Amino acid sequence: MEFETIHCKNSNDESLWTAYKERLLAALHGTVFHLTSQHALKLIQESVAIEHNKNERFKLNTNSLKSFGRLMGWVCLFDLRNATPELITDTLDRYNFFFPPGDLGRETSNGLAYLILDSTYYDRLIPYETFNEHVRNTGEYPMAVPKIETWIPDKVPLTWIEKVILASIDVILTDEQIQHYQANELAHRNLKWGPD
């Protein structure tokens, strides 16, 4: 498994922040990945797999509480294999995987880990359309990131991970930025996460 490090020295410097996002997106585009904190990555390495969290045996990210994948006992992944710039922009508006909402976002300065799935295992992916079928069949609206989220049942062995990108940001937030971040987090919780 290969490791790559991407770091932003100051998220308030627009040129550094833009360069960080562009470099990270270039590394992620065309891949399928699982996003977690670098702290959780250590636990994943100890268990040698990314495991589902249906029974809440791991700390829950506040945004995972109603996650479709978690509720099904699946590992949640982002599928950027065929993502257009418009779809990526829409996804980032709903779930900013550069600076995620909730508990995971608060760990951004401690580092995020993007675990990239080896293409050999793409045939194991459960497509997003499964979420739409679930909503039509049950009338339930759990959370899923439209068109981009995909899943693998139960767990993803670390041997299936081709590369890990360790990303970190030196976050120096002003009071105004904290208020903006909190407002975005509240708006994120109130988004309707239904079928397309």
Of the segments 10-19, 37-46, 144-153, which one has the largest average pLDDT value?
Answer: 144-153
Is residue 87, in this structure, part of any structural domain at all?
yes
Structural domain boundaries, residue 168: 2-190
CB atoms within 10 A of CB 174: 9
Choice among 48-57, 90-99, 176-185 with the minimum mean pLDDT: 176-185
Question: Is 70 exceeded by the pLDDT of residue 166?
Answer: yes
Q: Do residues 140 and 195 make contact, with C-beta atoms less than 8 angstroms apart?
A: no
pLDDT at 89: 92
Q: What is the sign of the dihedral through the CA atoms of 44, 45, 50 and 52?
A: negative
Share of the chain above pLDDT 90, in %: 52
Is residue 37, in this structure, part of any structural domain at all?
yes
Residues 6+ apart with CB under 8 A from 118: 160, 161, 162
Is residue 100, in this structure, part of any structural domain at all?
yes
Is residue 196, in this structure, part of any structural domain at all?
no
Q: What are the tens digits of pLDDT across the range 101-143?
A: 655 555 555 689 999 999 999 999 999 999 999 999 999 989 8
Is residue 13, in this structure, part of any structural domain at all?
yes
Is residue 195, in this structure, part of any structural domain at all?
no
Choice among 48-52, 63-67, 80-84 with the minimum mean pLDDT: 63-67
Is residue 186, in this structure, part of any structural domain at all?
yes
Q: Tell me the CATH number at 74.
A: 3.20.170.20
Share of the chain above pLDDT 70, in %: 76
Q: Do residues 65 and 54 make contact, with C-beta atoms less than 8 angstroms apart?
A: no
Is residue 85, in this structure, part of any structural domain at all?
yes
**pTM (two decimals):** 0.83
Burial class of 112 by CB neighbour count within 10 A (0 to 12, 13 to 18, 19+): buried
Q: Indicate the number of domains in the chain.
A: 1
